[in-house]
């Protein structure tokens, strides 16, 4: 029950989490929905959820070559944010509680990003596929808003990656 009631979010001042870091209380009615296309500026995403897959994670800023925790998803530095009219790249471990169930993503699944403004935006999965570990085209800028989600398909540095692309839902 507590897991449903709390969504950890880095960078929200003044709100404590029982897990030792900053957090916020989140309910479906607590945030307003907005169209990605109506965002005037790129806006930082603070959490990601994909209800059908049981994914619900706070998002932190990623670090190149740094250790990542299975308790968070990470936004790749240098890629866009929602409203930036380009590619937002988010990655996490393929572990239970992180992106393990991302392997089951299907076209049409809804991805919800909560933004630093308290708004939420919806994306719809348009593609999912396995790619080589060094296939960097998925982090490249695009000419329209989209999110690219990534996790690994194995435990080695050169294991294939699972890529899920989602576009604004409306």
Express each pLDDT in 19-42 by its tens digit.
333 333 344 444 578 999 999 999
In the three-class reduction of DSSP (H, G, I as helix; E, B as strand; rest coil), residue 137 is classed as helix
| Size of the chain, expressed as the number of residues it contains | 170
Per the CB < 8 A criterion, the answer to whether 42 and 32 are in contact is: no
Q: Which residue has the higher pLDDT, 6 or 116?
A: 116
The dihedral built from the CA positions of residue 89, 93, 94 and 97, taken in this order, carries a sign that is negative
Query: Tens digit of pLDDT for each residue in 69-113?
Result: 999 999 999 999 999 999 999 999 999 999 999 999 999 999 999
| CB-based contacts of 29, cutoff 8 Å, min separation 6 | none
Tokens at 157, concatenated = 């540095």
Is 6 within 8 Å of 26 (Cβ atoms)? yes
* φ/ψ of residue 137, rounded to 5: -65, -20
What distances in angstroms separate CA 74 from CA 1, 4, 111, one per listed residue?
Answer: 25, 21, 15
Q: Is the pTM of this model over 0.85?
A: no
Please give the Cα distance from 162 to 8 (Å, whole number).
Answer: 25
pLDDT at 51 over 50: yes
């Amino acid at each position: 029950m507590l897991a449903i009631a709390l969504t950890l979010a880095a960078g929200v001042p003044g709100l404590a989490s029982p897990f030792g870091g900053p957090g916020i209380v989140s309910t479906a009615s607590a945030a307003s929905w907005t169209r990605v296309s109506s965002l005037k500026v790129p806006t930082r995403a603070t959490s990601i959820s994909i209800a059908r897959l049981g994914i619900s994670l706070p998002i932190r800023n990623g670090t190149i070559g740094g250790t990542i925790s299975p308790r968070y998803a990470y936004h790749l530095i240098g890629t866009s944010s929602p409203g930036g009219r380009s590619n937002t790249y988010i990655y996490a471990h393929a572990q239970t509680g992180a992106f393990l169930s991302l392997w089951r993503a299907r076209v049409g699944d809804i991805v919800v990003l909560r933004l630093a403004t308290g708004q939420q935006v919806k994306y719809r999965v348009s593609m999912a596929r396995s790619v080589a570990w060094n296939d960097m085209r998925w982090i490249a800028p695009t000419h329209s808003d989209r999110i690219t989600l990534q996790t690994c398909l194995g435990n080695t540095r050169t294991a294939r990656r699972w890529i899920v692309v989602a576009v604004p839902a409306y």
